[in-house]
Amino acid sequence: MSNISPLKFTPILKSVLWGGSRISSFKGIAPSNSLIGETWEISGLEGFETAIAEGEFKGITISELLKQKGEQIMGTRLFEQYGTHFPLLIKFIDAAQDLSIQVHPNDEVAKVRHNCSGKTELWYMLNSQKSAIIYSGFKTPTTLEEFKNHVENNTLTDVLACFTPKRGDVFYLPAGRIHSIGAGNLLLEIQQTSDITYRVYDYNRTDFNGKKRELHTELAIETIDYQVHDEYCIHPEPLIDQEIEINNCNYFATTLLKIKNSCKINIADKDSFRIIVITSGKGNLTDNFGNNIALKQGDVLLVPATTEWVDISSSNGNAIEVITTYVP
């Protein structure tokens, strides 16, 4: 069995109109002069592949790694399904301004229109200012014609479910769910590897060049889920030194841990890689091969499928919070 240590990547910093400055302090990296709205922590999206930051594979991209060690990294089941296409994209997002109200297509629509996968995603809220809001789904039943009228009359937010999030809230956003991140939110995003977004409403803003950003309302209307759903937001309560599942869909399963001492996570029984995100605290990770890695807030690691288990322990008796995700 291959001894491939858990891998850290060099994130891609994305400068955007609505970006802020909080990700650098959250991750403990040098501040940027640009407005950083997103860091792509692990990405196999063509043209935006993250590179390994250290170790024997330092400098090669995740796509290159999968050409060399695909089955060991992905697991037999996923390598047969995805090949060298890494199926998940992990981001931190800092919204200093409101993001557009938008929707993402499902796999079928994205394949026909863009020859790529759709975009189902999940948000784990890391920090929200008191005035920050999240839009997710509809709060009242809305027909297609009513939706068009709301867009035309700038009243779309009147029919959207609006939340005042707090740290630890989880928003699951299947493809087709209309949504927006409001100003003042810092969050972790787990999503399918896709960058297809249909902007529906953008508050009549202009970009860096003074031009209004393109809207995709006509493309969006066929992909939106106009139904009202019961549970747009959950707030899972972690168990000390135990892993709990907070979401499980066709594309990824996500778990939460709060570790005051230590917790062993089984990797091999899932036949999948495991991504580990440190959302607060410091600690250490060891695995069955004897690899030992120091952990701190903002770290993101890819644990290969050939790993049997990892054990995460906290430092100095202070709790470390961890989000993990894999492909079920």
The answer to whether 285 touches 293, Cβ cutoff 8 Å, is yes
Burial profile 27-55: b = 16 or more Cβ within 10 angstroms, e = fewer: beeeeeeebbbbbbbbbbbeeebbbbeee
Query: Which residues are marked as active site?
Result: 199
| H/E element, 293 | strand 292-296
Q: How far apart are CA 190 and CA 172, in angstroms?
A: 10
Encoded amino acid at 49, one letter:
E
CA dihedral in degrees (73, 74, 77, 79; nearest 10)?
Answer: -100
Q: Which residues fall within 8 angstroms of residue 33, CB to CB, at 6 or more apart? A: none
Reference 301, options 283, 318, 319; nearest CA is 283
CB atoms within 10 A of CB 214: 8
Q: How far apart are CA 322 and CA 279, in angstroms?
A: 6
